[in-house]
Chain A
Amino acid sequence: DVKVTQSSRYLVKRTGEKVFLECVQDMDHENMFWYRQDPGLGLRLIYFSYDVKMKEKGDIPEGYSVSREKKERFSLILESASTNQTSMYLCASIGGLADFYNEQFFGPGTRLTVL
């Protein structure tokens, strides 16, 4: 079965803390994504990675960084958490363009609260 896993389902952090959100996929997918989802704003892309050590900014990268040292793992880092980063964070992965079906799968999500 296809699997995208995220390190935590719920996380509570304090303002100013450094926060790591981990995502692992077991499908050998080239592409991985981090989104945040807020009521009324839909899904917004934070960063994506199309290969190991490669990353590209999405629509709202400010206040975030990412790391992809291995193909299966994509980490989202909040350098100094702020209350406006309280959100649901969703990780996703998808194969490359050579993957005919090219279906994107999502992890279960991490609900982060910053106090």
Chain B
Amino acid sequence: ELKVEQNPLFLSMQEGKNYTIYCNYSTTSDRLYWYRQDPGKSLESLFVLLSNGAVKQEGRLMASLDTKARLSTLHITAAVHDLSATYFCAVRAGANSKLTFGKGITLSVRP
């Protein structure tokens, strides 16, 4: 059974500092997804990582994938308040398009 773990589950960040959050998964996969969710809202797609060594950047967020280690990282550069949200990673594995989600990491940026 595929398991997806995210850590930490909650992170308080100071404005202007850099942070990294992690997503581990337990079986081979060819797709890893990052989503953002604001309170009371739905999930918004951030990145789709398709291969080993893939790196994608959008603004202050950079996601990377190491399929050998079964690990994805989401790096936050110079955190700002607008980045406060819950971030989910999800992994596709198997013969269908079903995704398995981690529990999410809630980021809170303080002044």
Q: Which residues of A contact B (CB under 8 A)?
A: 30-31, 33, 42-43, 45, 48, 50, 90, 92, 94-97, 101-109, 111
Contacts and interface: CB of A to CB of B under 8 A. Distances in A.
B101 A103 contact: no
Given A96-B97, A105-B45, 16 more contacts: A31-B98, A33-B98, A42-B101, A42-B104, A50-B97, A90-B43, A94-B97, A94-B99, A95-B97, A97-B97, A102-B48, A103-B33, A104-B97, A106-B44, A107-B42, A111-B40
B23 interface: no
The 3 A-B pairs at the shortest CB distance, nearest first, are namely A42-B103, A109-B42, A106-B43
A33 B96 CA distance: 12
Interface string B26-37: 000001010100
- If over half of A's interface residues share one DSSP class (helix, strand or loop), that class is named, otherwise mixed; here it is strand
Interface residues of B, number: 23
B42 A90 contact: yes
Nearest to A91: B42
Which of B41, B43, B101 lies at the interface centre, i.e. has the most chain A CB atoms within 10 A of its CB?
B43
A68 to B, nearest CB: 15
B92 interface: yes
Given A43-B88, A101-B48, A103-B33, A108 B42 contact: yes
Contact of B33 (A50, A96, A104): A104
Contacts of A109: 41-42
B65 interface: no
13 contacts: A31-B97, A42-B102, A42-B103, A94-B99, A95-B97, A97-B95, A97-B97, A102-B48, A102-B92, A104-B45, A104-B90, A104-B99, A106-B43
